[in-house]
Structure 1
Amino acid sequence: MGTKKASELLMKWNLAPDLKLVRFKPSKRVNAANGKDMMAALLSSPEVCGALQTPIVPSQEQAAEIPVEALACTVLNMNFFDVLQEDNEVVTDNGSVRACMDEIFEGITVQDKLRELLINPDESENAGVFKEADKKELIYHLLKVVCVGGAMCQAEEHFGEWKDMTKAMYKDLVNVSKKAGGGGIEIKSHAFLVDKWGESEVFKTKSIHNRFYVVADADYVNVLYKPFVNFW
Protein backbone atom coordinates (compact mmCIF):
# COMPACT_ATOMS: atom_id res chain seq x y z
CA MET A 1 0.00 0.00 0.00
CA GLY A 2 1.42 3.39 -1.03
CA THR A 3 2.37 5.93 1.63
CA LYS A 4 -0.09 8.55 0.37
CA LYS A 5 -2.99 6.09 0.25
CA ALA A 6 -2.14 4.75 3.70
CA SER A 7 -2.00 8.26 5.15
CA GLU A 8 -5.40 9.11 3.67
CA LEU A 9 -6.97 5.97 5.16
CA LEU A 10 -5.44 6.55 8.58
CA MET A 11 -6.97 10.02 8.55
CA LYS A 12 -10.34 8.65 7.39
CA TRP A 13 -10.38 6.09 10.18
CA ASN A 14 -9.32 8.68 12.75
CA LEU A 15 -6.13 6.77 13.53
CA ALA A 16 -3.86 9.67 12.58
CA PRO A 17 -2.10 11.44 14.19
CA ASP A 18 -2.27 9.37 17.41
CA LEU A 19 -1.20 6.01 15.96
CA LYS A 20 2.54 5.39 16.33
CA LEU A 21 4.45 2.64 14.51
CA VAL A 22 8.06 2.77 15.67
CA ARG A 23 11.04 0.43 15.25
CA PHE A 24 13.83 0.32 17.80
CA LYS A 25 17.21 -1.38 17.59
CA PRO A 26 18.29 -2.14 21.16
CA SER A 27 21.89 -1.45 22.11
CA LYS A 28 22.19 -5.07 23.20
CA ARG A 29 20.59 -8.28 21.96
CA VAL A 30 17.09 -8.78 23.33
CA ASN A 31 15.33 -11.92 24.49
CA ALA A 32 12.32 -11.49 22.22
CA ALA A 33 10.39 -14.28 23.91
CA ASN A 34 10.53 -12.68 27.38
CA GLY A 35 7.70 -10.16 27.24
CA LYS A 36 7.85 -9.02 30.86
CA ASP A 37 11.56 -8.16 30.88
CA MET A 38 11.42 -6.52 27.47
CA MET A 39 8.43 -4.37 28.37
CA ALA A 40 10.00 -3.33 31.66
CA ALA A 41 13.02 -2.06 29.75
CA LEU A 42 10.96 -0.33 27.05
CA LEU A 43 8.47 1.44 29.28
CA SER A 44 11.12 2.83 31.60
CA SER A 45 13.23 4.15 28.70
CA PRO A 46 13.02 7.94 28.11
CA GLU A 47 14.00 7.41 24.46
CA VAL A 48 11.22 4.91 23.80
CA CYS A 49 8.57 6.87 25.68
CA GLY A 50 9.66 10.04 23.94
CA ALA A 51 9.24 8.46 20.49
CA LEU A 52 5.80 7.12 21.40
CA GLN A 53 4.82 10.25 23.34
CA THR A 54 3.76 8.09 26.25
CA PRO A 55 4.13 8.86 29.95
CA ILE A 56 7.38 7.41 31.32
CA VAL A 57 6.99 4.62 33.86
CA PRO A 58 9.28 5.67 36.74
CA SER A 59 11.10 2.35 37.18
CA GLN A 60 11.54 -1.08 35.61
CA GLU A 61 9.91 -2.57 38.71
CA GLN A 62 6.71 -0.59 38.10
CA ALA A 63 6.84 -1.28 34.38
CA ALA A 64 7.06 -5.00 35.11
CA GLU A 65 3.69 -4.82 36.87
CA ILE A 66 1.88 -3.74 33.70
CA PRO A 67 0.05 -6.79 32.27
CA VAL A 68 1.56 -8.31 29.12
CA GLU A 69 -0.14 -11.04 27.09
CA ALA A 70 1.70 -13.13 24.50
CA LEU A 71 0.10 -13.30 21.04
CA ALA A 72 0.67 -15.80 18.24
CA CYS A 73 2.39 -14.94 14.95
CA THR A 74 1.60 -17.98 12.80
CA VAL A 75 -0.53 -16.54 9.97
CA LEU A 76 1.26 -16.61 6.61
CA ASN A 77 -1.51 -15.59 4.20
CA MET A 78 -4.71 -13.59 4.08
CA ASN A 79 -6.94 -16.67 3.89
CA PHE A 80 -7.22 -16.09 7.63
CA PHE A 81 -10.02 -13.61 6.86
CA ASP A 82 -12.07 -15.91 4.62
CA VAL A 83 -14.29 -16.82 7.58
CA LEU A 84 -15.83 -13.35 7.39
CA GLN A 85 -17.47 -14.30 4.09
CA GLU A 86 -18.87 -17.65 5.18
CA ASP A 87 -22.64 -17.59 4.62
CA ASN A 88 -22.32 -13.88 3.73
CA GLU A 89 -23.08 -13.04 7.35
CA VAL A 90 -20.44 -10.33 7.92
CA VAL A 91 -18.86 -9.68 4.51
CA THR A 92 -20.63 -10.56 1.26
CA ASP A 93 -19.10 -12.36 -1.71
CA ASN A 94 -18.39 -9.02 -3.40
CA GLY A 95 -16.60 -7.69 -0.32
CA SER A 96 -19.37 -5.46 1.03
CA VAL A 97 -19.56 -5.18 4.82
CA ARG A 98 -23.06 -5.81 6.11
CA ALA A 99 -24.73 -2.96 7.97
CA CYS A 100 -26.42 -3.20 11.36
CA MET A 101 -28.40 -0.98 13.69
CA ASP A 102 -26.42 1.92 15.17
CA GLU A 103 -24.78 1.12 18.47
CA ILE A 104 -22.47 3.16 20.70
CA PHE A 105 -19.86 1.18 22.60
CA GLU A 106 -17.44 2.97 24.93
CA GLY A 107 -17.44 6.14 22.85
CA ILE A 108 -17.45 4.57 19.36
CA THR A 109 -20.49 4.44 17.08
CA VAL A 110 -20.83 1.14 15.21
CA GLN A 111 -22.96 0.77 12.09
CA ASP A 112 -21.75 -2.50 10.56
CA LYS A 113 -21.46 -6.15 11.57
CA LEU A 114 -17.68 -6.34 11.27
CA ARG A 115 -16.94 -3.53 13.70
CA GLU A 116 -19.73 -4.77 15.97
CA LEU A 117 -18.09 -8.21 16.04
CA LEU A 118 -14.70 -6.70 16.90
CA ILE A 119 -15.82 -4.08 19.41
CA ASN A 120 -18.64 -5.85 21.23
CA PRO A 121 -18.23 -9.62 20.76
CA ASP A 122 -20.24 -10.42 23.89
CA GLU A 123 -23.43 -9.24 22.21
CA SER A 124 -22.66 -9.77 18.52
CA GLU A 125 -24.57 -12.60 16.85
CA ASN A 126 -21.40 -13.22 14.81
CA ALA A 127 -19.12 -13.59 17.83
CA GLY A 128 -18.17 -17.14 16.83
CA VAL A 129 -16.87 -16.26 13.37
CA PHE A 130 -13.29 -16.26 14.63
CA LYS A 131 -12.20 -19.14 16.84
CA GLU A 132 -10.65 -18.36 20.21
CA ALA A 133 -7.22 -19.36 18.88
CA ASP A 134 -7.67 -16.93 15.96
CA LYS A 135 -8.32 -14.10 18.41
CA LYS A 136 -4.88 -14.71 19.91
CA GLU A 137 -3.19 -14.02 16.57
CA LEU A 138 -1.42 -10.70 16.06
CA ILE A 139 -3.09 -10.22 12.68
CA TYR A 140 -6.55 -10.40 14.28
CA HIS A 141 -5.53 -7.62 16.65
CA LEU A 142 -4.23 -5.50 13.76
CA LEU A 143 -7.57 -5.95 11.99
CA LYS A 144 -9.23 -4.66 15.14
CA VAL A 145 -6.94 -1.62 15.24
CA VAL A 146 -7.73 -0.52 11.68
CA CYS A 147 -11.44 -1.39 11.71
CA VAL A 148 -12.27 0.13 15.08
CA GLY A 149 -10.21 3.24 14.39
CA GLY A 150 -10.80 6.32 16.49
CA ALA A 151 -13.86 8.02 17.93
CA MET A 152 -14.55 9.76 14.59
CA CYS A 153 -13.79 6.78 12.33
CA GLN A 154 -15.44 6.90 8.89
CA ALA A 155 -16.11 3.21 8.37
CA GLU A 156 -15.58 1.39 5.07
CA GLU A 157 -18.45 -0.10 3.11
CA HIS A 158 -16.11 -2.70 1.60
CA PHE A 159 -13.63 -4.93 3.38
CA GLY A 160 -10.80 -4.51 0.87
CA GLU A 161 -9.22 -1.35 2.29
CA TRP A 162 -9.24 -2.69 5.85
CA LYS A 163 -7.77 -6.01 4.70
CA ASP A 164 -5.00 -4.35 2.68
CA MET A 165 -4.00 -2.07 5.57
CA THR A 166 -3.96 -4.99 8.00
CA LYS A 167 -1.72 -6.94 5.62
CA ALA A 168 0.65 -3.98 5.18
CA MET A 169 0.99 -3.47 8.94
CA TYR A 170 1.54 -7.17 9.55
CA LYS A 171 4.32 -7.31 6.95
CA ASP A 172 5.99 -4.27 8.51
CA LEU A 173 5.88 -5.67 12.03
CA VAL A 174 6.88 -9.33 11.68
CA ASN A 175 10.18 -10.88 10.60
CA VAL A 176 9.61 -13.61 8.01
CA SER A 177 12.45 -15.89 6.92
CA LYS A 178 13.04 -19.16 5.10
CA LYS A 179 13.12 -22.31 7.18
CA ALA A 180 16.42 -24.14 7.38
CA GLY A 181 16.68 -26.73 4.65
CA GLY A 182 14.31 -24.91 2.31
CA GLY A 183 11.10 -26.10 3.93
CA GLY A 184 9.02 -22.97 3.36
CA ILE A 185 8.88 -19.81 5.46
CA GLU A 186 8.31 -19.02 9.10
CA ILE A 187 7.84 -15.98 11.32
CA LYS A 188 10.68 -15.33 13.74
CA SER A 189 8.92 -12.59 15.71
CA HIS A 190 7.29 -12.71 19.14
CA ALA A 191 4.25 -10.49 19.71
CA PHE A 192 2.73 -9.09 22.89
CA LEU A 193 -0.39 -7.16 23.85
CA VAL A 194 0.40 -4.63 26.56
CA ASP A 195 -2.24 -3.54 29.09
CA LYS A 196 -5.22 -5.36 27.55
CA TRP A 197 -7.78 -3.17 29.34
CA GLY A 198 -6.07 0.15 28.59
CA GLU A 199 -6.00 1.26 32.21
CA SER A 200 -2.30 1.61 33.11
CA GLU A 201 -0.12 4.70 33.25
CA VAL A 202 1.20 4.08 29.72
CA PHE A 203 -1.98 5.81 28.53
CA LYS A 204 -2.99 9.36 29.42
CA THR A 205 -6.63 8.33 29.80
CA LYS A 206 -8.25 4.96 30.49
CA SER A 207 -10.16 3.27 27.65
CA ILE A 208 -10.82 -0.26 26.44
CA HIS A 209 -9.95 1.10 22.97
CA ASN A 210 -6.35 1.96 23.91
CA ARG A 211 -3.98 -0.31 21.96
CA PHE A 212 -0.33 -1.16 22.61
CA TYR A 213 1.53 -3.98 20.85
CA VAL A 214 5.18 -5.01 20.83
CA VAL A 215 6.60 -7.28 18.12
CA ALA A 216 10.22 -8.30 18.58
CA ASP A 217 12.87 -10.56 17.11
CA ALA A 218 16.52 -11.00 18.03
CA ASP A 219 17.54 -7.69 16.45
CA TYR A 220 14.58 -5.27 16.43
CA VAL A 221 11.63 -4.24 18.56
CA ASN A 222 8.57 -2.89 16.73
CA VAL A 223 5.90 -1.01 18.64
CA LEU A 224 2.35 -0.13 17.65
CA TYR A 225 0.83 2.38 20.06
CA LYS A 226 -2.63 3.91 19.70
CA PRO A 227 -4.21 5.80 22.59
CA PHE A 228 -7.95 6.37 22.26
CA VAL A 229 -9.00 10.01 22.23
CA ASN A 230 -12.65 10.72 22.98
CA PHE A 231 -14.50 13.07 20.63
CA TRP A 232 -16.18 14.93 23.47
Structure 2
Amino acid sequence: MADRARKFSFRYLVDKKFNSIDDKEKQEWLLKWSMKDRIKAQMFTFDQPFQPYEKDNFGLDFMTDPEVVSSLQMLSSQDRWTPVGIVAKSVTVEPVACFALSMAFFDRLYENQIVRESGHIHKCLDEFYEDFTISDELRKLLIQEDCDNFCLFNESERNEFLFLLFKHFCLGGKVCQYEDSIDPYLDFTKQVYKELISVQKNPETKELGILSNVFKLTASGDSGVYYPSSVAHEQTFSYLIVDALKRHITMLYHRFGSSGFS
Protein backbone atom coordinates (compact mmCIF):
# COMPACT_ATOMS: atom_id res chain seq x y z
CA MET A 1 0.00 0.00 0.00
CA ALA A 2 2.96 2.29 0.55
CA ASP A 3 3.59 2.49 -3.22
CA ARG A 4 -0.03 3.18 -4.14
CA ALA A 5 -0.79 6.59 -5.62
CA ARG A 6 -2.96 8.71 -3.36
CA LYS A 7 -6.44 9.50 -4.69
CA PHE A 8 -8.02 11.60 -1.94
CA SER A 9 -6.93 14.84 -0.30
CA PHE A 10 -8.59 16.38 2.75
CA ARG A 11 -9.16 19.77 4.33
CA TYR A 12 -10.05 20.41 7.96
CA LEU A 13 -13.13 22.58 8.57
CA VAL A 14 -11.78 24.25 11.69
CA ASP A 15 -14.88 26.40 12.33
CA LYS A 16 -17.39 23.55 12.21
CA LYS A 17 -19.17 23.12 15.56
CA PHE A 18 -21.30 20.22 16.74
CA ASN A 19 -24.08 21.55 18.95
CA SER A 20 -25.23 18.06 19.91
CA ILE A 21 -21.93 17.61 21.76
CA ASP A 22 -20.66 21.13 22.47
CA ASP A 23 -23.86 22.71 23.82
CA LYS A 24 -23.64 23.66 27.51
CA GLU A 25 -26.44 21.32 28.58
CA LYS A 26 -24.85 18.43 26.67
CA GLN A 27 -21.51 19.15 28.32
CA GLU A 28 -23.18 18.78 31.71
CA TRP A 29 -24.47 15.35 30.70
CA LEU A 30 -21.05 14.34 29.39
CA LEU A 31 -19.44 15.47 32.65
CA LYS A 32 -21.87 13.32 34.63
CA TRP A 33 -21.13 10.37 32.35
CA SER A 34 -17.34 10.89 32.64
CA MET A 35 -17.04 11.66 28.91
CA LYS A 36 -16.59 15.44 29.04
CA ASP A 37 -13.30 16.58 27.49
CA ARG A 38 -12.81 13.02 26.23
CA ILE A 39 -15.11 13.07 23.21
CA LYS A 40 -14.71 15.17 20.08
CA ALA A 41 -16.23 15.49 16.62
CA GLN A 42 -14.29 17.04 13.72
CA MET A 43 -15.30 17.60 10.11
CA PHE A 44 -13.14 17.39 6.99
CA THR A 45 -13.87 17.74 3.28
CA PHE A 46 -12.41 15.56 0.52
CA ASP A 47 -11.85 16.22 -3.16
CA GLN A 48 -12.87 13.11 -5.16
CA PRO A 49 -16.01 10.96 -5.54
CA PHE A 50 -16.19 8.18 -2.95
CA GLN A 51 -17.64 4.68 -3.17
CA PRO A 52 -17.91 2.38 -0.13
CA TYR A 53 -15.75 -0.31 -1.78
CA GLU A 54 -12.87 2.19 -1.62
CA LYS A 55 -13.03 2.33 2.19
CA ASP A 56 -9.56 0.88 2.83
CA ASN A 57 -7.70 3.17 0.43
CA PHE A 58 -9.88 6.07 1.54
CA GLY A 59 -9.04 5.44 5.19
CA LEU A 60 -5.33 5.13 4.43
CA ASP A 61 -5.33 8.33 2.37
CA PHE A 62 -7.10 10.04 5.28
CA MET A 63 -4.67 8.90 7.95
CA THR A 64 -1.63 9.76 5.82
CA ASP A 65 -2.84 13.16 4.61
CA PRO A 66 -0.57 15.93 5.98
CA GLU A 67 -3.49 18.17 7.01
CA VAL A 68 -5.23 15.30 8.79
CA VAL A 69 -2.05 14.22 10.56
CA SER A 70 -1.57 17.77 11.86
CA SER A 71 -5.21 18.55 12.75
CA LEU A 72 -7.03 15.32 13.72
CA GLN A 73 -7.11 15.32 17.52
CA MET A 74 -6.68 12.45 19.97
CA LEU A 75 -6.04 12.12 23.69
CA SER A 76 -2.51 11.25 24.71
CA SER A 77 -1.68 8.82 27.49
CA GLN A 78 -1.37 11.95 29.70
CA ASP A 79 -4.96 12.91 28.80
CA ARG A 80 -3.95 15.87 26.66
CA TRP A 81 -5.57 16.70 23.35
CA THR A 82 -2.92 16.55 20.64
CA PRO A 83 -2.76 16.08 16.85
CA VAL A 84 -2.21 12.43 15.90
CA GLY A 85 1.15 13.50 14.44
CA ILE A 86 1.85 10.04 12.97
CA VAL A 87 1.59 9.01 9.33
CA ALA A 88 -0.25 5.68 9.32
CA LYS A 89 1.44 2.58 7.93
CA SER A 90 -1.87 0.71 7.77
CA VAL A 91 -5.51 1.20 8.71
CA THR A 92 -8.46 -1.00 9.54
CA VAL A 93 -11.79 0.31 8.23
CA GLU A 94 -14.79 -1.74 9.38
CA PRO A 95 -18.27 -0.97 7.99
CA VAL A 96 -20.90 -0.11 10.61
CA ALA A 97 -24.56 -0.66 9.70
CA CYS A 98 -26.58 2.56 9.55
CA PHE A 99 -30.21 2.09 8.55
CA ALA A 100 -32.29 3.20 11.56
CA LEU A 101 -34.42 6.27 10.89
CA SER A 102 -36.40 6.49 14.13
CA MET A 103 -35.91 6.29 17.87
CA ALA A 104 -38.76 3.76 17.81
CA PHE A 105 -35.82 1.37 17.50
CA PHE A 106 -35.66 1.50 21.31
CA ASP A 107 -39.37 1.10 22.08
CA ARG A 108 -38.83 -2.51 23.11
CA LEU A 109 -36.86 -1.27 26.15
CA TYR A 110 -40.21 -0.41 27.73
CA GLU A 111 -41.01 -4.11 27.78
CA ASN A 112 -39.71 -6.94 29.93
CA GLN A 113 -39.07 -4.88 33.09
CA ILE A 114 -36.19 -2.84 31.65
CA VAL A 115 -37.73 0.65 31.58
CA ARG A 116 -41.01 1.71 33.20
CA GLU A 117 -43.60 3.69 31.26
CA SER A 118 -42.41 6.79 33.14
CA GLY A 119 -38.92 6.33 31.71
CA HIS A 120 -37.37 5.17 34.97
CA ILE A 121 -34.90 2.31 34.55
CA HIS A 122 -35.46 -0.82 36.63
CA LYS A 123 -32.69 -1.32 39.17
CA CYS A 124 -30.97 -4.58 40.05
CA LEU A 125 -28.39 -5.78 42.55
CA ASP A 126 -24.94 -4.51 41.68
CA GLU A 127 -22.80 -6.75 39.52
CA PHE A 128 -19.39 -6.02 38.03
CA TYR A 129 -18.23 -6.57 34.47
CA GLU A 130 -14.73 -5.45 33.53
CA ASP A 131 -14.69 -1.63 34.08
CA PHE A 132 -18.48 -1.35 34.52
CA THR A 133 -20.84 -1.58 37.45
CA ILE A 134 -24.15 -3.12 36.39
CA SER A 135 -26.76 -1.61 38.68
CA ASP A 136 -29.85 -1.73 36.46
CA GLU A 137 -31.55 -3.84 33.81
CA LEU A 138 -30.55 -1.50 30.97
CA ARG A 139 -26.82 -1.92 31.47
CA LYS A 140 -27.37 -5.63 32.00
CA LEU A 141 -29.04 -5.83 28.58
CA LEU A 142 -26.25 -3.83 26.97
CA ILE A 143 -23.26 -5.86 28.14
CA GLN A 144 -24.26 -9.10 29.86
CA GLU A 145 -24.72 -11.73 27.17
CA ASP A 146 -26.26 -14.30 29.51
CA CYS A 147 -29.00 -12.00 30.82
CA ASP A 148 -32.63 -12.85 30.03
CA ASN A 149 -33.21 -9.72 27.93
CA PHE A 150 -30.01 -9.74 25.88
CA CYS A 151 -31.90 -11.26 22.94
CA LEU A 152 -34.26 -8.25 22.69
CA PHE A 153 -31.75 -6.89 20.16
CA ASN A 154 -30.22 -9.33 17.70
CA GLU A 155 -26.62 -9.21 16.53
CA SER A 156 -27.29 -7.07 13.46
CA GLU A 157 -29.29 -4.56 15.52
CA ARG A 158 -26.50 -4.35 18.09
CA ASN A 159 -24.12 -3.44 15.28
CA GLU A 160 -26.32 -0.53 14.15
CA PHE A 161 -24.65 2.86 14.57
CA LEU A 162 -27.68 4.17 16.46
CA PHE A 163 -27.46 1.29 18.95
CA LEU A 164 -23.69 1.70 19.32
CA LEU A 165 -24.04 5.42 20.11
CA PHE A 166 -26.75 4.70 22.67
CA LYS A 167 -24.62 2.01 24.28
CA HIS A 168 -21.55 4.27 24.43
CA PHE A 169 -23.49 7.03 26.18
CA CYS A 170 -25.19 4.65 28.61
CA LEU A 171 -21.90 3.04 29.67
CA GLY A 172 -19.94 6.30 29.78
CA GLY A 173 -16.45 6.72 31.15
CA LYS A 174 -14.42 5.51 34.10
CA VAL A 175 -16.36 7.32 36.85
CA CYS A 176 -19.75 7.48 35.14
CA GLN A 177 -22.75 8.56 37.24
CA TYR A 178 -25.63 6.60 35.76
CA GLU A 179 -29.04 8.11 35.07
CA ASP A 180 -32.20 6.88 36.81
CA SER A 181 -34.26 7.73 33.71
CA ILE A 182 -33.65 6.62 30.15
CA ASP A 183 -34.71 10.00 28.72
CA PRO A 184 -31.29 11.74 28.81
CA TYR A 185 -29.68 8.80 27.03
CA LEU A 186 -32.34 8.71 24.31
CA ASP A 187 -32.34 12.51 23.87
CA PHE A 188 -28.57 12.75 23.64
CA THR A 189 -28.31 9.79 21.25
CA LYS A 190 -31.02 11.23 19.01
CA GLN A 191 -29.37 14.66 18.79
CA VAL A 192 -25.90 13.31 18.09
CA TYR A 193 -27.18 10.81 15.52
CA LYS A 194 -29.26 13.45 13.77
CA GLU A 195 -26.30 15.81 13.52
CA LEU A 196 -23.84 13.19 12.30
CA ILE A 197 -26.00 11.35 9.76
CA SER A 198 -27.23 12.73 6.42
CA VAL A 199 -30.62 11.70 5.04
CA GLN A 200 -32.39 12.31 1.74
CA LYS A 201 -35.95 11.83 0.54
CA ASN A 202 -36.44 9.49 -2.42
CA PRO A 203 -38.16 11.63 -5.11
CA GLU A 204 -40.27 8.66 -6.26
CA THR A 205 -41.27 6.95 -3.01
CA LYS A 206 -41.01 10.10 -0.82
CA GLU A 207 -39.38 7.92 1.82
CA LEU A 208 -36.29 9.02 3.72
CA GLY A 209 -33.07 7.13 3.26
CA ILE A 210 -29.66 7.45 4.91
CA LEU A 211 -26.88 8.75 2.68
CA SER A 212 -24.02 8.41 5.16
CA ASN A 213 -21.58 5.53 5.28
CA VAL A 214 -20.20 4.78 8.75
CA PHE A 215 -16.94 2.99 9.49
CA LYS A 216 -14.97 2.15 12.60
CA LEU A 217 -11.37 3.22 11.96
CA THR A 218 -8.10 2.25 13.61
CA ALA A 219 -4.61 3.24 12.45
CA SER A 220 -1.25 1.59 13.02
CA GLY A 221 2.34 2.83 12.77
CA ASP A 222 5.73 1.21 13.26
CA SER A 223 4.93 0.47 16.93
CA GLY A 224 1.44 -0.91 16.36
CA VAL A 225 -2.03 0.60 16.79
CA TYR A 226 -1.93 4.23 17.93
CA TYR A 227 -5.36 5.59 16.91
CA PRO A 228 -7.81 5.92 18.58
CA SER A 229 -5.45 4.61 21.29
CA SER A 230 -2.70 2.05 21.78
CA VAL A 231 -4.86 0.59 24.58
CA ALA A 232 -8.03 -1.09 23.32
CA HIS A 233 -11.28 -0.60 25.24
CA GLU A 234 -14.95 -1.04 24.35
CA GLN A 235 -15.53 2.65 25.16
CA THR A 236 -12.55 3.92 23.15
CA PHE A 237 -13.73 4.48 19.60
CA SER A 238 -13.23 6.41 16.39
CA TYR A 239 -16.05 6.46 13.84
CA LEU A 240 -15.49 7.79 10.34
CA ILE A 241 -18.81 9.05 8.89
CA VAL A 242 -18.79 9.83 5.18
CA ASP A 243 -21.30 11.97 3.31
CA ALA A 244 -20.32 11.18 -0.28
CA LEU A 245 -22.77 13.71 -1.73
CA LYS A 246 -21.39 16.71 0.17
CA ARG A 247 -17.90 15.18 0.33
CA HIS A 248 -17.78 15.60 4.08
CA ILE A 249 -16.16 13.38 6.69
CA THR A 250 -17.02 13.57 10.37
CA MET A 251 -14.71 11.86 12.83
CA LEU A 252 -16.31 10.98 16.18
CA TYR A 253 -13.66 10.10 18.76
CA HIS A 254 -13.71 9.09 22.42
CA ARG A 255 -11.10 7.64 24.75
CA PHE A 256 -12.21 5.84 27.90
CA GLY A 257 -11.08 7.44 31.14
CA SER A 258 -12.04 10.03 33.72
CA SER A 259 -13.39 13.53 33.00
CA GLY A 260 -12.09 16.59 34.77
CA PHE A 261 -8.41 16.35 33.97
CA SER A 262 -6.47 19.63 34.05
TM-score computed with the length of structure 1 as normaliser: 0.85
Q: Is the 8 A contact 2:35 2:258 kept in 1?
A: no
- CA gap of 1:45–1:145, structure 2 versus 1, over 3 A, is farther
Partner SS for 1:194: strand
Instruction: Tell me if 1:58 matches 2:77.
Output: no
One-letter identity of the residue aligned with 1:52: Q
Distance, in Å, in 1 between the alignment partners of 2:243 and 2:53 is 8
Runs ≥4 in structure 1, deviation > 6 angstroms?
none
RMSD (Å) for aligned C-alpha atoms = 2.3
Give the number of the structure whose residues are more often strand, by fraction: 2
**How far apart are 1:223 and its partner, in Å?**
1.3
Which sits farther off after the overlay, 201-210 or 142-151?
A: 201-210
**How far apart are 1:77 and its partner, in Å?**
1.1
Instruction: Tell me if 1:222 matches 2:250.
Output: yes
User: How does 1:29-48 map onto structure 2 within 5 Å?
Assistant: 29-32=49-52, 34-48=54-68
* Greater gyration radius: 2
- CA gap of 1:105–1:194, structure 2 versus 1, over 3 A, is farther
Structure 1: state its 5+ residue gaps: none
Identity of matched residues, %: 28
CA deviation vs aligned residue, 1:59-115 (integer Å, no higher than 9, x gap): 3xx323x3x32122211111100111123x211111111112223323232312212
Q: Is the 8 A contact 1:40 1:63 kept in 2?
A: yes
**How far apart are 1:33 and its partner, in Å?**
5.2
Equivalenced residue count is: 222
Distance, in Å, in 2 between the alignment partners of 1:63 and 1:90 is 42
Tell me which of 67, 73, 85 is aligned to 2:98. 73
Distance, in Å, in 2 between the alignment partners of 1:11 and 1:214 is 24
Instruction: Tell me if 1:16 matches 2:41.
Output: no
- CA gap of 1:46–1:13, structure 2 versus 1, over 3 A, is farther
Which sits farther off after the overlay, 49-58 or 203-212?
A: 49-58
Partner SS for 1:81: helix
Tell me which of 140, 144, 168 is aligned to 1:116. 140
**How far apart are 1:53 and its partner, in Å?**
2.1
Which sits farther off after the overlay, 32-41 or 158-167?
A: 32-41
**How far apart are 1:230 and its partner, in Å?**
6.2
TM-score computed with the length of structure 2 as normaliser: 0.76
**How far apart are 1:32 and its partner, in Å?**
4.6
Q: Match for residue 91 of structure 1?
A: 115
Which sits farther off after the overlay, 202-211 or 14-23?
A: 202-211
Q: Is the 8 A contact 2:40 2:252 kept in 1?
A: yes
Partner SS for 2:152: coil
One-letter identity of the residue aligned with 1:215: I
User: How does 1:162-181 map onto structure 2 within 5 Å?
Assistant: 162-181=185-204
Which sits farther off after the overlay, 102-111 or 16-25?
A: 102-111
